[in-house]
Every structure is written in structure tokens, then in C-alpha cells.
A and B are shown apart, each in its own frame.
Chain A
Amino acid sequence: MIETRGLRKSFTSRQGREKKTVEAVRGVDLTVAEGEIFGFLGPNGAGKTTTLRMLATLLPPDGGTATIAGVDLLSSPGDVRRVIGYVAQGGSTWDESTAREELVLQSRLYGVPRAASQQRAARVLDAFQLTEYADRKCKTYSGGQRRRVDIALGIIHEPKVVFLDEPTSGLDPQSRAHMWDEIRRLRDEGMTVFITTHYLDEADALCDRISIMDHGEIVASGTPAALKREISGDVVRVGLPAAAVSSAASLLGSAAFVSKLETHDDSIRLYVEDGATAIPLILRTLDAGDVPLHAIELHRPSLDDVFLTKTGRSLREN
């Protein structure tokens, strides 16, 4: 549904007399399949929004190629606009208008006649559970309601692909869960959904496939499960009295199921293939060696570990 090769964008900013060029996106290759929720995960400033804005025809790329739903982005941005929807991070409603007015206008801007636009607006309002507020001014809406109106505006023309830039940022947990349901519903109706996020749990739980982006480049792509599997196995953290760390390390360091071992002040970390089977073995080994222990924790790799392995930094630090 979306295919990009070597998509590039840099910005020149002027500071006094000096010109600074920032390479925001440096050669992005993407393949997004029809009917999936595709996620762009990365810290703020990684180039996610810039890539999205290029795909949404809002920014001309400096280089590379892209096709969306079979339409070439560079040669026919006008035709791309007909098949995509785009929902910006900052929202898109006008305080003094009502949701219904905004939806009808948006639909008509796509060339849909008035009566059909009104029907569409009513249908979309209903689907997003907004009918109750439809004729109130947008300035009276809550954050979650506003966000739903934004998304409704992005899909009123029934696009093949919808781009959602940080769709849940700033929402409370309940509205967030609600929004995830809405996004899944769009996919189930056959739309291809392309989101950006800097939330690990969102990428993990919501997206069928993700690409991890850092400093304008894609550092990893795949399903969340496959990416985590690549990190090879689980981590078991064993908490011990400080005096026991070295004896525990010598007992476990030679064990066949431990692929790597790290010692800390009052704990050791063991990298193992499968944590669930390793834990009884660890307990047995330590017990046999009379090593006392305080705690044992199984740590399954998260997308943050994927990010850490690929970039050397944690996403949480950002």
C-alpha cells in the first residue's frame, strides 16, 4: 500500500549569519501492507513526523521515491491526496465551528455533494460516538472528544490510507484505550493505518508491524514480537547479598543455559534463551551451592530493549 525508497528531507535554518542544515530524514525505505496498522516508533525529533508529512503531500521530499496506493507521490501529489487521510498531532478543529459543520465541509472539499456529505458526517459522528456533541462548538469538547473529531475528519472521505501523527499523545489512559479501539476498527474496516508514536506500549499493543526510527533513519523493522525475539532470549535478574555475588557468578557462569552474565553490586543478570525454564535451574544451582538469594525476576525483552540494542540508548531516557 505504501512503498518508499531512499526518502530524504533536510531543513536549513538560519542562526544569525550561519546556515545550519539538519538532515531530518536520511533515506527511509518502507513497505506497508494493505490493511495493517503500521507504527513508526522513535524518540521526539527522530524524523517520524517529517516522514509522515512528506507522505501526506505536505512537504516535498528532497530525494527518494514513494508510491501510495499505487500513486506516485512525487509526480502526482494531487492524486495521492484523494486516497489518503492525515491527522496532525496538534489537532485540526476550529473552536467556533461545530463537529458536524467541520465534517460536512471536509467531505465537500473532497468533492462529495452536500446531501451525501451530510449523510457521511452523520454516519461518522455515530461511529465515533460524537452524535451527542455534534452541534456544539469545538471549543467545548474534552481532549478525547476533540481527538475523535480530528480522526473523524481524517477519514470522512473513506481514504485507503490514513496517517495519524501521535494519535494518543496527551490523552488520559481511558481515552487512550478508547482511541486504540477506534484505530483497530478503522483497520478492520479495511483501511491501512500508519501511526507515529513514542509510546512503547502503544507500538507493542496496537501495531501489526513497526519500524523503529532514530536520527532520521530506520534502525529496525518487523512485527513487535519478531523484533523482541531478535534480542535473543530473556533476562533473569537474581538479587543476592553483596558477599554472595562472586560465588553465585562462578556457579552460574559455567552453566550451559546461560549465554551471558553480568554482575552488579547486589545482583546478577543472566541472559538466557527461555526464562521460564531457566528459573528452576538457577534456583537449583544456587541452592546446591548454598548461595542465599533475595529475589528473582524474569525480564522479557521489550521494544525498549530493541531500541537499546540498535541505538545504544534507551527510549525512556528521551
Chain B
Amino acid sequence: MTFVRDTWLIFARQMQLLLRNPVWVLVGVFQPVMYLLLFAPLLKPALQVQTDAEAYRIFVPGLLVLLAIFGGLFQGFGLIAELRAGVIERSRVTPVSRIALLLGRSLRDMVSLIAQAVIITLLALVFDLRVFIGDLLLAFLMLALISLMTSAVSYGVALLVKSEDALAPLMNTVAQPVLLLSGILLPLTFAPGWLQGIADWNPFSWAVNGTRALFVGDLGDPAVWQGLLIMAVLAVAAIVWAARLFARSVR
């Protein structure tokens, strides 16, 4: 019970600070919005589909997953600032649950990601994207799981490296192949067999496939439950790992 309460306390503080500067949420959507406006129009001819709506049904889910991955992976920077200010150490001498220290922050990241995803989706509606609300909510669940996982990973790595200088190249190095191997920008159906073979080992590729299936309205596609399951398992694993780092001594 104290764990739930502690998580809420940390989450509420983090939300309060986020809402004090909500401009960061908007800065976060700037890049995906640019993709939506400046890159997506290329897709109708490139994907050889008939309508804009069809192109957006393929592209927007990938874009949202991209946002969830990158948004999460770079949250560690904020934690390093908190480490430096002594805020983390101050929390660690209290009896507060160590999982709460992590989860409260990751939940804040999740909420901010969902807010961004809503903005993107609403914009895409303008471009004739149509998706059932039930399918959309499931897709958001997928995004929530992804952002919980990537932000937990980012916090864990931040606790290990403790320096922005190390975190930035590290996260970029991880994110780059993950991005290319997940078929986010273009579906991997165009990929040669060997590339698809590698992509099958990339969990985010499963997440993208699942999210696309949801946007098409194909709830029965096994990609949906497979993607959700893989993301849920990885999210739990990442949270447990990072929470253990919070519990361990931080010098």
C-alpha cells in the first residue's frame, strides 16, 4: 500500500514540475509533426497506395512508436540533473519505496507521451486518417508500455553512467539500429529476407506491427497480442532492473 502511495507522491511531484513548464511537451511533438507534414506526403507514391488515408494508416503508427522510443530513451537526462542537485540522494535516505522512485518518474513520462500521441493522432485525423476508438486505445496501451520500458532503461543507464556526456552517445547508438530495424518509417515488407530475419529479433518491430494492425482495425491479427505481450514483459523487466539500481548505492 505504501508503494502505491509513494509512487503517487513521486508521480504527482514530477507532474507538477512538468505542468509548470508544459512547453516541453510541445517541443517534444515538434519533430514528429514535421515528419507528419513534410515526410508523410512522400509516402503515397512511395508505398504505392491509393489514398492518403492508407498511407497515414501505415505511417502514423510507426511515427507514434518512434516518439515513444525516443521520448523515453532521453528521459535519463532529467535524472542526471536530479542526481547532481542531490534530490535523488535526499529521497534515498527516506524510507520511500525504491520502485516508487523509478515508477513515479516513468509514469510521468508515460502521461506526457500519451499527451503527445493524442496531439499527433488528432493532426493525422485532419489528413483523413480514420481509426476506431477501441483500436486506438489499445494502440495507446502499446505506446504506454513502450515508453514505460524505454524511460526505465534510460533511468537505469543514467544511474550507471551519471553523466550527460556518456548518456547521449550511448542512447543514440542504441536507438539508431533499433529504429532502422523496426520498420518504423517504412514497413519491412519491402526489406530483403536477411534484413527481415534480423528485424524479427527486434522487439520494437513486433510493437510496430501490432500498432499498425490496430490502426488498420485488424484486432484479430496475432501481431496485436504478440506486440502487447512482448512490450509488457520488457517493460516489467526494465522497471525491475532500474528500480534495483535505485535501491543500490549511488555514489
Chain A residues within 8 Å of B, Cβ to Cβ: 56-60, 78, 81-82, 84-86, 88, 90-97, 101, 105-106, 108-111, 153, 157
Contact = CB atoms under 8 A, between A and B. Distances in A.
Contacts of A58: 89, 92-93, 249-250
A88 B86 contact: yes
Interface of B: 2, 6, 9, 13, 16-17, 20-21, 82, 85-87, 89-96, 249-251
Nearest to A159: B93
Contacts of A60: 249
Given A92-B85, A94-B82, A110-B95, 13 more contacts: A57-B93, A58-B92, A59-B249, A81-B93, A84-B93, A85-B93, A92-B86, A93-B85, A93-B87, A94-B85, A96-B17, A111-B2, A153-B90
A49 to B, nearest CB: 11
| Majority-rule SS of A interface residues | loop
B110 to A, nearest CB: 21
Given A108-B9, A109-B9, A111-B2, A95 B85 contact: yes
Given A105-B9, A109-B6, A81 B86 contact: no
A305 B96 CA distance: 44
Contacts of A94: 17, 82, 85, 87
10 contacts: A57-B93, A58-B250, A92-B85, A93-B87, A96-B21, A105-B9, A105-B13, A109-B91, A111-B95, A157-B94
Contacts of B87: 92-94
B95 A92 contact: no
B2 A92 contact: no
A84 B94 CA distance: 9
A88 B89 contact: yes
A88 B92 CA distance: 12
A91 B82 CA distance: 11
A90 B93 contact: no
B93 A56 contact: yes
B95 A82 contact: yes
B93 A86 contact: yes
Contacts of B16: 101
Most chain B CB within 10 A, of A84, A88, A94, is at A94
Contacts of A101: 13, 16
Contact of B90 (A59, A92, A95): A92
Contacts of B90: 88, 92, 106, 153
A106 B94 contact: yes
